[in-house]
Amino acid sequence: MGKRKNRLSADEYVEGILAGNRVILSRAITLVESSLVSDQQLAEEVVNRIMPHTGNSLRIGITGVPGVGKSTFIESFGHLVVEQGDKLAVLAVDPSSQKTRGSILGDKTRMEQLSHDSRAFIRPTPAGAALGGVSAKTRESMLLCEAAGFNVIFIETVGVGQSEIMVKGMVDFFLLLMLSGAGDELQGIKKGIIEIADAIAITKADGENVDAAKKAKREYSNALHLFPLNDNGWSPQVKVCSAMTKDGLPEIWSMIQKYESSMRTNGYLEKNRSNQRVNWFYEHARYLLESRFFHQSEVKSSLIDMLAQIKNGEKSSISVARYLVDYFLKDIPND
């Protein structure tokens, strides 16, 4: 079919990204998100070539309960970060419909002022079927942003509960946003999210809600004391803030900077990133195996009839899965 119209070469992608060209950076992220085999091959080459220029950012995961105001918080908090001289990239993962797989991708419009700041780059992306509210290609997008010179990365997730652990597996600092009314909410919060948070921020602490936010801070602080100390020696903190008045935001940024300094000094930050890179390998290997399994022609042709047999109760799910996997691996020696 020939070369796709206006398709950039690997050299053009790499040169543009390293030069901080936002248009090429956006196209590179689109490339890594593509499901086309040719795009995936090109994306792998680009990511491999920019790897020596990655790892120089502070990676922060931000999530929270529905209605907590994640985008509003990031808008105000992001302004604080760039005003202090940093370059910020926000990877905002939007929820996708489980029926249509469509996504509104409205985060950029909710961060209107920040999106027009030359020191910030905002990229909304659909979560799709990925667990934890994280796009399957968020990690690669993060690396591209780092190579483009952004030294602070926010990953905003849709906030779906226990599977937010996946977010923790790709960031240095995990910030959980909560609303006041902690006494009631603690009963319904997944324990796993609280355990992995490096800090909790009680949002919307303004107007008549200030006292309630302070009460929530005390209750969350007491709850955190029930959990064992993290293996990095950090004791999670609870802060109160308002994205409207900007109160509390400098204290949160100062806390995160203190965390980064401490983790770099004791060697935990690099150790954690090394473990994350290994885990990313295992996750992507599973993804590739699953993708190739379901796209193999013989498996695809057999799947419809066998799924019907499973639905009708004629065969068990386990036996069908084992049969198809054995067929998929039939030419590979079984050691």
The answer to which of 89-103, 143-157, 194-208 has the lowest mean pLDDT is 89-103
Mean pLDDT of the chain: 85
* CA gap 137, 128 in Å, rounded: 11
Q: pLDDT value at position 1? A: 43
pLDDT tens digit sequence for 71-83? 899 999 999 999 9
Query: Domain range for residue 139?
Result: 54-265
Please give the average per-residue pLDDT across 77-94, as a whole number: 92
How many domains does one find in the chain? 3
- The rounded distance, in Å, linking the Cα atoms of 7 and 15 is 15
Query: Would you say residue 18 lies in a domain?
Result: yes
**What are the DSSP E strand ranges found in the chain?**
58-64, 88-94, 120-126, 152-156, 173-178, 199-202, 237-240
Query: Is 246 a domain residue?
Result: yes
* Per-residue pLDDT, 166: 75
Specify whether 116 is located in the same domain as 12: no
Question: Helix or strand or coil: residue 305?
Answer: helix
Q: Looking at residue 171, which CATH number applies to its domain?
A: 3.40.50.300
Shared domain for 107 and 85, answered yes or no, is: yes
Query: In angstroms, how far is the first alpha carbon of the chain from the final one?
Result: 42
Fill in the DSSP letter of residue 161.
S
- Residues 123, 213, single domain; the answer is yes
Q: Per-residue pLDDT tens for 310-327?
A: 999 999 999 999 999 998
Same domain (yes/no): 104, 210: yes
Mean pLDDT of 165-180: 88
Let me know if 31 is exposed, middle or buried by CB neighbors in 10 A (0-12, 13-18, 19+). buried
Structure tokens given for 323: 């049969």
Residue 133: per-residue pLDDT: 39
Residue type, 273: R
- State the pLDDT at residue 193: 75
Note the pLDDT of residue 100. 37
Mean pLDDT across 192-203: 86
pLDDT at 96 > cutoff 50: no
In a domain, residue 79? The reply is yes
pLDDT digits (tens, 9 = 90+) for 227-237: 777 788 899 99
- pLDDT-derived band at 256 (thresholds 50, 70, 90) equals very high
pLDDT tens-digit readout, 12-54: 999 999 999 999 999 999 999 888 889 989 999 999 999 999 9
> What is the percent of the chain where pLDDT is above 70?
84
Are 201 and 98 in a shared domain? yes
The whole-number average pLDDT for the span 222-250 is 89
Reply yes or no on whether the pLDDT at 87 is more than 50: yes
Q: What is the pLDDT of residue 298?
A: 87
Least confident range from 79-93, 258-272, 285-299: namely 285-299
Q: What is the pTM of this model?
A: 0.86
Q: Ramachandran region of residue 67, left (φ > 0), alpha (ψ -120 to 50) or beta?
A: left
